[in-house]
Amino acid sequence: MQTPHRRGENNNRAPKDYKLSPEKYRSLEHKLLRLKARHPQEASEVKRLAEMGDFSENAGYQMAKSRLRGLNQRILDIEHLLKRAEIVIPDADTSTVKAGHRVTIETAGKEKTYTILGGAETDPDAGVISLLSPLGSSLLNKKVGDEISVTVNGKEKIIRIIKIEA
């Protein structure tokens, strides 16, 4: 029988970019405070349920322990992100597209506006794309009027930059 081995943490996670808007950074700080405030309550619940005896048949204990592990992991993830965060403040120079800029593009006769931020804030439905996404990375350092070709879902699209805003 072969001994199981785990893949390293770096192998199973996508590469992270740590660029955050000031608003997202503050939001994560508040979330971290709320999670840390919940920690003593969750830990005491685990302790209370542990006193009930047999761990193998104590479903309440198992669930509370799982919740505590999840809470601990979320706290560690947010602390990790905040330690490495690079605050993105849109550059006032809008001659070329940079992280933090709002870019209006035209594709197939339709105009769309996107804000280019880090991966932690990506929400395409709200018009926020990652600077590491195919579209975001192809827009970086381009100027108004530039036409670029982007492959999205296996289809090539021609995109023209109409406007760049800070």
The ranges assigned to domains in the chain are 17-87, 102-165
What are 4-33's pLDDT values in tens digits?
A: 666 554 444 555 788 899 999 999 999 999
CA distances (Å), origin 28, targets 14, 122, 123, 128, 143:
20, 15, 16, 17, 33
Domains 17-87 and 102-165 share a fold: no
Structural fold of domain 102-165: Chitinase A; domain 3 (3.10.50)
- The token duo for 138 is 């192809």
What are 90-130's pLDDT values in tens digits?
A: 889 999 999 999 999 999 899 999 999 988 888 989 999 99
Q: Could you tell me which CATH class the domain 17-87 is placed in?
A: mainly alpha
